[in-house]
Amino acid sequence: MGNRLKKVAVVGLGYVGLPLALAFSKQGYKVTGIDLDERKLQLLKEGRSYIQDIPDQQVKESAQRRQFSATREMHRLREADVIIICVPTPLNGDDEPDLTYLMQAAASIRDHLRRGQIIVLESSTYPGTTREVLKPLLEQSGLSVGTDVFLGYSPERVDPGNRHYPLEVIPKVVSGITDKCARAVEDVYKTVFQTVVRISSTDAAEMTKLLENTYRFVNISFINEIAQLCNSMGIDVWEVIEAARSKPFGFSAFFPSPGAGGHCIPVDPLYLQWRAKQFGATSSFIAASREINHRMPRYIVERIKEALSRESLSGVKILVVGVAFKPNIDDTRESSAIQLIECLQQDGAAVSYYDPYVHEVRVQGKLLTSVHISGNPVSQSEYDCAIIAVNHEGLPLQQLIDQIPLVYDTRNALKGMQGTAKVIRLGGGTPDSEGNAGIPLRD
């Protein structure tokens, strides 16, 4: 069926939807991207990309080949053979699933649904969403899923900023409400993705995504807890992780950080926790991980106070290096570096930040702008301390350790480097008088 289908509509052109739309257009599909954000639509019309991994050229070429166009007109959904939903699935104020965007998008699809269409949900969500929420909503059109239209779920695994795994290379899990639905989705996706993994139900496919992200959340929090234990025992956690990963099986290395951030990792486990509660179950791992993750910024602030021998950070000038939620990207959603800035400010510190990818960021309602340190000498009195929160490639690290008296390195970015600063690493143990870690605490 797949190769005969020619028109695809992608609803939601964000970090997930735009790359996906362009991947389909590259394979010869005529793709209509649908979004409500006028700014994004205008940029796309001008042949410009707002996603860092996608060069303007790619948008321009797809548009020139008439393989891709973007609109906010929902009636265009009717032209599509395949409709893929990539809208946000955030949490509401009570940290519970907020399916508002999904319900809105699904209602638009319902209003323009026609026989023969294939609808695939890609947004991350709790097991049961496609079957219990999306299916009944689409069937309000009078068309039946499995006979008139075909509905499936395929979790998105794109990893923004990761150049080693382009979208088409990441194996794609697909599923359908019925067997026929699953085969329809598989046939289409096989024409774009190198490997397609079909599984038995949409519930299992939704759970697959939550397992992957909860696994990351739990392990990131676990290694952060181990980093704190190592620090208390005067053991360098970074050395320990290096040694442990020399084991060729049974150990996957995770590394300390100010915490898990982003739109997915701290959010998706709460979708799972919420759903589990509906079945009278709960995950103590998710609860504990959440607690550890939440405490990380405060933990770092306490270590900095200790290093400066101060009760409070009132008036202390601190430079936070990196505010994106992970290296080499410009996305700041749920960034632990921003939570760290909030925490430092609450303690009275005067905080500036430097991030080559993020020119401005809002912290507690106030707009902060990245300072320019790269290549500009920092005067010794400008900052009392720098915190390396994110290890983007190409940071001016030597400059930091030569020009700022104290550097707190949460990522072991300064490994092997020498400078005049006193350097303390997250989980690096207590430094001795020469700055070497791994020395037990003394009275």
What residue ranges bind ligand NAD (CB under 6 A)? 11-17, 34-37, 40, 86-89, 101, 104-105, 123-124, 156, 158, 160, 263-264
Give the residue with the Cβ less far from ligand NAD, 77 or 397: 77
Q: What's the CA gap between 232 and 315, in Å, rounded?
A: 28
Let me know: does 254 contact 220? Beta carbons within 8 Å.
yes
CB of 123 to ligand NAD, least distance (A): 3
What separation in angstroms does the CA of 74 have from each of 140, 145, 316, 418, 420?
Answer: 17, 21, 53, 58, 60
CB-based closest residue to ligand NAD: 14
Residue 264 is a catalytic residue: yes
What separation in angstroms does the CA of 143 have from each of 45, 111, 147, 186?
Answer: 34, 11, 8, 21
Catalytic residue among 86, 181, 264, 385: 264
CB of 126 to ligand NAD, least distance (A): 11
Q: What's the CA gap between 235 and 243, in Å, rounded?
A: 13
Residue with tokens 């609109």: 71
DSSP secondary structure letters along 70-86: EE--GGGGGG-SEEEE-
Give the residue with the Cβ less far from ligand NAD, 36 or 199: 36
Closest C-alpha to 384, from 283, 442, 313: 313
Give the residue with the Cβ less far from ligand NAD, 68 or 383: 68
Give the residue with the Cβ less far from ligand NAD, 327 or 438: 327
∠ CA 427-429-431 to the nearest 5 degrees?
Answer: 130
Give the residue with the Cβ less far from ligand NAD, 157 or 303: 157
Let me know: does 81 contact 113? Beta carbons within 8 Å.
no
CB of 100 to ligand NAD, least distance (A): 8
Let me know: does 241 contact 255? Beta carbons within 8 Å.
yes
∠ CA 176-182-188 to the nearest 5 degrees?
Answer: 120
CB of 400 to ligand NAD, least distance (A): 29
DSSP state of 377: P
CB of 38 to ligand NAD, least distance (A): 9
Report the residue count for the chain.
443
* Buried/exposed code over 415-424 (b: 16+ C-beta within 10 A; e: otherwise): eeeebebbbb
Give the residue with the Cβ less far from ligand NAD, 40 or 425: 40
Give the residue with the Cβ less far from ligand NAD, 40 or 172: 40
Bridge-based pairing of strands 385-388 and 317-321 is: parallel
Q: What's the CA gap between 153 and 207, in Å, rounded?
A: 11
∠ CA 290-293-218 to the nearest 5 degrees?
Answer: 65
Catalytic residues: 264
